[in-house]
Amino acid sequence: MEDYTVLLAALVALLLGLSTGKAWERYKLQEGRWIDRRKARESPHYILGLNFLVSNQLDPAIEELRTAAGLNPDALEIHMILGNLYREKGQVGRAIQVHQDLLQRPKLTRLEHAYVMLCLGLDFKKGGFVDRAREAFDDVLRLEPKNQYALLHLEKLHEEQHQWEEAYAIRQQLTKIGDRDQAPRHQAILAFLENELGLQALKRMDYQGASTHFRAAIDLDAHAVPAYLNLGDVEFYNGQLKAATEAWERMIRVAPERAYLAFDRLESAYPKMGTPDRLPELCRRLVAANPQDWRARLALARHLGGQGATAEAFELLLEALAHNPHALSLHQAIWEVLSRLELRPDLVRRYVALSKDSVFYLDPHVCIRCRYRSTELLWQCPHCHEWNTFVEERIAPARDDDEMRA
Ligand SMILES: [Zn+2]
């Protein structure tokens, strides 16, 4: 929705600019009278419509803009926006109709043609007509080779179909035409795309190719966490334990907050290398560097628990729980330790007391309008002031892709 608003604002600004540039075309003969086209755009319906749009009230915006469009059948931008609003409301057929009608108009400038075509591409995309959407975006690029919106949407279409090479080529184009201060962002996205190419190579059992892609991803962006993990995995499959642990350890140096992604991997690799103590050492270093790190404490506790140091494990788990009381994995680990200690009453009491202090996480309620959170049910939201918008917050699993497509 936000993307859409930004795009719309850009379109509005652009077309208002166009219309002032063509001041000589301002007057037009309509039903035997000269009509001031610009005046028509200043009709209350147009202004009201834009105001509703800005405050995100789509239905009244459509109502006003439809009236404005009826009063002023020639104003391209009003019809274009109206079509976009239909699309946003899910009335894709209607949006396509409006935008296709606009394309039939004689004397469209190249820029107008490109932007109507872009809107049509978005309609097709929303309607799930992938091929027609791609054709529309390609048409936009024929008219305007550097149109960033068309490039971005084409890139997404390729990504959705796992055509990573095509997406990569488009991102390279975007890098070339984009601002220099955006370069790190482009590099980071190119790194993710390289990583996907590596995973594709891995599926083909092409370990050499995969490893080349993962290394390229890391060269593009030193913070490409998945590329380090996957590079380590390839080395591990190939029996290169030292190279594998080096890749994972490098990831931990550049992104210590993601260190936990490598814990299981390192825990199986270190003993095979004859250095089983490196995992607890690593966890202790991470906790010392960041006292909030509950995952490093959990990993250390599991490691110590496995070696029979149950009391030390329990203390670590309680410390971790203080930092993240809603982590189910911590509660499970604590119960495991407690049951191994045959529910020592003093330890159970400490655990219950600590859980009670984490009152913020009890019964969380959330405002469905503005996402404001509260520990209790409120009838009016203190943030957005809406009435009766609180629901109990439940975490539901994300639906998988197949369900989404069904
Ligand atoms: Zn609210």
What is the 176 CA–ligand 1 centroid distance (Å)? 42
Tell me what percent of the residues of the chain surpass a pLDDT of 70: 85
What is the 42 CA–ligand 1 centroid distance (Å)? 35
- Residues 8-24 have a mean pLDDT of 46
SS3 content of the chain, % helix, strand, coil (to 5): 70, 5, 25
Tell me what percent of the residues of the chain surpass a pLDDT of 90: 68
pLDDT in tens, 349-371: 999 988 877 655 666 788 998 98
What is the 86 CA–ligand 1 centroid distance (Å)? 27
What is the 384 CA–ligand 1 centroid distance (Å)? 4
CA distance 228 to 255: 11
What is the 390 CA–ligand 1 centroid distance (Å)? 8
What is the 376 CA–ligand 1 centroid distance (Å)? 14
What is the 379 CA–ligand 1 centroid distance (Å)? 10
pTM for the model stands at: 0.76
What is the 367 CA–ligand 1 centroid distance (Å)? 5
What is the 377 CA–ligand 1 centroid distance (Å)? 12
Contact 116, 155 (CB under 8 A): no
What is the 56 CA–ligand 1 centroid distance (Å)? 16
What's residue 13's pLDDT? 47
- Residues 289-318 have a mean pLDDT of 94
* Distance between start and end Cα atoms, the chain: 23
What's residue 356's pLDDT? 79
Q: Give the residues across from 392 on adjacent strands.
A: 365
Confidence of residue 324 (pLDDT cuts 50, 70, 90): confident
Specify the range with the lowest mean pLDDT, choosing from 104-113, 136-145, 246-255, 395-404.
395-404
What is the 2 CA–ligand 1 centroid distance (Å)? 18
For 53, 64, 152, 251, the CA distances from 61, given in Å and listed in that order, are: 6, 5, 27, 49
pLDDT in tens, 122-165: 999 999 999 999 999 999 999 999 999 999 999 999 999 999 99
What is the 74 CA–ligand 1 centroid distance (Å)? 41
Q: In what order do the strands lie in the sheet with 373-374?
A: 373-374, 365-367, 390-392
What is the 340 CA–ligand 1 centroid distance (Å)? 45
What is the 7 CA–ligand 1 centroid distance (Å)? 26
**Biggest alpha carbon–alpha carbon distance for the chain:** 96
What is the 59 CA–ligand 1 centroid distance (Å)? 21
Confidence of residue 405 (pLDDT cuts 50, 70, 90): very low
Neighbours of 138 (CB within 10 A): 13
What's residue 358's pLDDT? 67
**Identity at 378, one-letter amino acid code:** L
Residue 6, pLDDT above cutoff 70: no
What is the 266 CA–ligand 1 centroid distance (Å)? 44
| Coil/strand/helix, residue 209 | helix
CA distance 379 to 388: 5
What is the 396 CA–ligand 1 centroid distance (Å)? 21
What is the 356 CA–ligand 1 centroid distance (Å)? 27
Contact 325, 294 (CB under 8 A): no
pLDDT in tens, 37-92: 555 566 789 889 999 999 989 999 999 999 998 888 888 999 999 999 999 999 99
What is the 371 CA–ligand 1 centroid distance (Å)? 6
What is the 374 CA–ligand 1 centroid distance (Å)? 10
What's residue 25's pLDDT? 46
What is the 385 CA–ligand 1 centroid distance (Å)? 6
Instruction: Look at residues 288, 285, 283, 314 and name the one whose alpha carbon lies nearest to residue 300.
Output: 283
What is the 3 CA–ligand 1 centroid distance (Å)? 22
What is the 382 CA–ligand 1 centroid distance (Å)? 7
Confidence of residue 377 (pLDDT cuts 50, 70, 90): confident
What is the 210 CA–ligand 1 centroid distance (Å)? 47
Contact 123, 94 (CB under 8 A): no
Contact 316, 292 (CB under 8 A): no
Neighbours of 268 (CB within 10 A): 12
Question: β-strands 33-36, 365-367: how paired?
Answer: unpaired
* Exposed/middle/buried for residue 43 (C-beta within 10 Å: 0-12, 13-18, 19+): middle
pLDDT in tens, 267-285: 999 999 999 999 999 999 9
What is the 392 CA–ligand 1 centroid distance (Å)? 14
Please state, rounded to an integer, the average pLDDT across all residues of the chain. Answer: 87
Contact 223, 199 (CB under 8 A): no
What is the 369 CA–ligand 1 centroid distance (Å)? 5
CA distance 233 to 236: 5
What is the length of the chain? 406
What is the 364 CA–ligand 1 centroid distance (Å)? 14
What's residue 315's pLDDT? 95
Confidence of residue 20 (pLDDT cuts 50, 70, 90): very low
What is the 387 CA–ligand 1 centroid distance (Å)? 8
What is the 373 CA–ligand 1 centroid distance (Å)? 8
